[in-house]
């Protein structure tokens, strides 16, 4: 049986901001449960313990998998932390991430079937635009020995963007999700093609060249799939 998809809860001082961010993230991840808990109970600016608790309970009951919470400002994080403390459920994870960028990155990761911890990590990696994230509760990465076998030769392909708006949010999300479908490491113009934010950061528009490089057991299949999407203009004009 497949693992439940990780859900997202967006906690903001503004109901409009929470709902708008949820709407944007949902465009990137149509199969992910994304809920907004913004504002106070009576619609003012602020946060509500009850609204967050109700949303958390609903997501846990609905999907049964992990729920990653993202917050906009300090007191929203405090409200979320209070709910998590009372719930005492290991499936609930609070991300220290930029609100909008983190929500988009987390949504794409969840759409690809990532675990709760991996979805939280994807959200927090969005903070690298503003500085590194240092989590005290995670051990440093283990050093690995140099591979005894030479690295596999990379396959490369040069493509040209055809859709008028280039790699904006929607096609960037499509591309990142496509990469996640294959057992391959894919680089796009020197960046990780599995990262929607890195792709959007390239700022590529119609007519721009894409230098795609892939390694791994399904490198050729990944390149073919990416080329098909690019040639089709990602379904846009």
For 103-198, strand residue ranges (E) read: 155-160, 185-188, 191-192
Distance CA 14, CA 44 (A): 8
Query: What is the distance between the terminal CA atoms of the chain, rounded to a whole angstrom?
Result: 39
C-alpha pair distances (Å), 60 with each of 39, 66, 90, 113, 176: 21, 7, 11, 17, 27
What tokens appear for 149 in the block? 């076998």
| Strand ranges across the sheet with 34-38 | 34-38, 7-12, 67-71, 92-94
Select which of 7, 9, 11, 13 is catalytic. Answer: 13
Distance CA 64, CA 133 (A): 28
| Helix H or strand E segment including 81 | helix 74-87
Is residue 71 within 8 Å of 44, Cβ to Cβ?
Answer: no
C-alpha pair distances (Å), 185 with each of 54, 68, 103, 116, 194: 40, 26, 23, 22, 8
Q: Is 168 a catalytic site residue?
A: no
- Cα within 13 Å of Cα(215), Cβ side: 7
Catalytic residues: 13
């Amino acid at each position: 049986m497949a693992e439940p998809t990780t859900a997202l809860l967006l906690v903001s001082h503004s109901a409009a901001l929470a709902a708008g961010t949820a709407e944007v993230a949902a465009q990137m991840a149509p199969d992910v449960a994304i809920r907004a808990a913004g504002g106070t109970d009576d619609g003012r600016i602020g946060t509500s313990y009850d609204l967050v608790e109700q949303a958390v309970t609903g997501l846990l009951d609905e999907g049964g998998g992990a729920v990653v919470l993202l917050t906009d400002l300090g007191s929203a994080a405090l409200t979320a932390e209070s709910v998590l403390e009372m719930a005492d459920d290991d499936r609930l994870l609070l991300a220290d991430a930029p609100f909008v960028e983190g929500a988009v990155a987390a949504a794409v990761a969840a759409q690809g079937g990532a675990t709760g911890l991996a979805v939280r990590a994807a959200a927090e990696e969005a903070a690298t635009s503003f500085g590194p994230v240092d989590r005290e509760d995670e051990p440093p990465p283990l050093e690995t020995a140099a591979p005894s076998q030479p690295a596999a030769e990379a396959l490369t392909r040069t493509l040209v963007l055809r859709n008028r708006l280039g790699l904006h949010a929607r096609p960037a999300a499509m591309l990142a999700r496509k990469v996640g479908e294959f057992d391959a490491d894919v680089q796009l113009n020197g960046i990780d093609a599995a990262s929607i934010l890195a792709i959007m950061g390239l700022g590529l528009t119609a007519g721009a060249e894409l230098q795609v490089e892939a390694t791994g057991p399904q490198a050729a299949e990944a390149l073919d799939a990416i080329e098909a999407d690019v040639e089709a203009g990602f379904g846009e004009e």
